[in-house]
Amino acid sequence: MTSTSSSEVPDPNLDTCISIQNTTISYGDFEAVKNVFCDIPRGQVTAFIGPSGCGKSTILRALNRMNDLIEGCSLKGRILFDGADLYAPEVDPVEVRRRIGMVFQQPNPFPKSIYENIAFGARINGYNGDMDELVERSLRQAAVWDECKDKLKESGNSLSGGQQQRLCIARTIAIQPEVILMDEPCSALDPISTLKIEETMHELKKSFTIVIVTHNMQQAVRVSDMTAFFNAEAVEGGSGKVGYLVEFNNTDNIFNAPSQQATQDYVSGRFG
């Protein structure tokens, strides 16, 4: 097991936003990902990469307690957000999600108008400012304003897949979370939409901490500052594979000078 401990974070100047401490997540009796240590720095883009089934999405969903929705999913260890344990018994998962927003793999706009898609979350979060301004600002930040400024009253489903995904990003920005989690946000999109979303991310990291799970290594290279490489290994006696964190470092180091052989193999395309 080659987990990197938090002390190995290369730039000690970076302020830690989310700290994953010795976290193990299981579905029922089956361990999906094991003993993860990882300090996600504030105001940066952190990418989780690795082969299928290595538990990177599971870890991501654990960061805003989306795993609560999955039957039989349990977590050991601690996840600290600004020093607060997200899994302390008195923590309200709904409040966690108001501070840590999420963009999902499939674009999933609400069956409401584009305007309402943005306003819905903001209203839930008690936004009392100018809603029109917020909608415009969020859509602009997500780089989808030009495409939908003339049809704000139309259904969110009338947009194309890439536009829908940017609408979903805008929806997440609109609640002004501290962190935005993105679970393979481009996997259902064409290359041009992907590019637009990557552009958006570059701008978003000026205001938000972003954690992104991606299958696409080039995407990790293009958008992220930090990269965590996960791998999966067969467990003795078990039927499935258990995921673990192999290496966490600057994206440059992960792709150009990885310290682990497995990372080297993966980023150079030898497996996965």
Partner 1 sequence: MNNSSTTQSAVQIPDLGYKPWCVRNLRSRFLSVLAGLFAFLSVLPLIAVLVHILIKGFSSINVELFTQLPPPPGGVGGGIGNAILGSFIVTVIAALIAIPIGVGGGIYLAEYSTGRGFSQFIRFGTNVLAGVPSIIAGVFVYGTIVSTRILFGHTFSAIAGGTALSVLMLPTVVKTTDEGLKLVSNDLRRAALGVGASRFVTVSQITLPKAFTPIATGVVLSIARAAGETAPLIFTALFSPFWPNGIFDPIATLSVLIYNFSTQPYDVQNQLAWAASFILVVFILMLNLLARWLGRIASK
Partner 2 sequence: MWCSQVNGRNSNHQPTPSGISAHLLLVLRKRAGVRVRFRYLSASRVTKIKARYLLRSRPPSEKLVDGSFKNLVVVMASMVALVLISILVVVFWGSLESMGRYGLEFLVTSNWNPVDDEYGAFTAIYGTLVTSLLALVIAVPLGVGTAIFITENIIPKKIRDVIGLMVELLAAIPSVVLGLWAIFILEPFIRPFLMFLYDDFGWIPFFSTEPLGPGIAPAILILVVMILPIITAISRDSLNQVPMKLRQAAYGVGTTRWGAILNVILPAAISGIVGGVMLALGRAMGETMAVTMIIGNSNVFSWSLLAPGNTISAMLANQFGEADVGQLSSLMYAAFVLMVLTLLVNIFAQWLVKRLSLKY
Selected binder of partner 2 within 126, 153, 236, 239 (CB under 8 A): 126
Q: Quick one: tokens of 117? A: 């898609």
Scanning the structure block, which residue is given the tokens 């467990």? 235
| Nearest Cα to Cα of residue 210 among 33, 95, 60, 92 | 60
DSSP 74-108: EEEEEEEETTEETTSTT--HHHHHHHEEEE-SS--
Q: Quick one: tokens of 129? A: 């400012």
Q: Which of residues 220-259 bind partner 1 (CB under 8 A)?
A: none
Q: Looking at this protein, which amino acid is placed at residue 74?
A: S
Please give the angle made by the CA atoms of 104, 109 and 111, to the nearest 5 degrees: 145
Q: Quick one: tokens of 257? A: 């000078």
Q: Quick one: tokens of 226? A: 């930090």
Q: Quick one: tokens of 85? A: 């344990």
When CB distances are held under 5 to 8 angstroms depending on the partner's kind, the choice from partner 2, partner 1, none that residue 111 binds is partner 1
Site string for partner 1, 118-137 (x = CB under 8 A): --xx--xx------------
Question: Is 42 a binder of partner 2 (CB under 8 A)?
Answer: yes
Question: Is 98 a binder of partner 1 (CB under 8 A)?
Answer: yes
Nearer to partner 2, 43 or 51 (CB): 43
When CB distances are held under 5 to 8 angstroms depending on the partner's kind, the choice from partner 1, partner 2, none that residue 140 binds is partner 2
Q: Which residues contact 172 (CB under 8 A, 6 or more apart)?
A: 101, 102, 103, 121, 180
When CB distances are held under 5 to 8 angstroms depending on the partner's kind, the choice from partner 1, partner 2, none that residue 252 binds is partner 2
Nearer to partner 1, 39 or 184 (CB): 184
**Residues that bind partner 2 in the complex, under the rule CB under 8 A:** 15, 42-44, 92, 94-95, 98-99, 122, 124-129, 137, 140-141, 143, 175-176, 178, 191-192, 195-196, 199-200, 202-203, 205-207, 217-218, 221-222, 224-225, 250-252, 255-256, 267
Binding site residues, partner 1, CB under 8 A: 64, 66, 69, 71, 94-95, 97-98, 101-104, 106, 108-111, 120-121, 124-125, 168, 171-172, 174-175
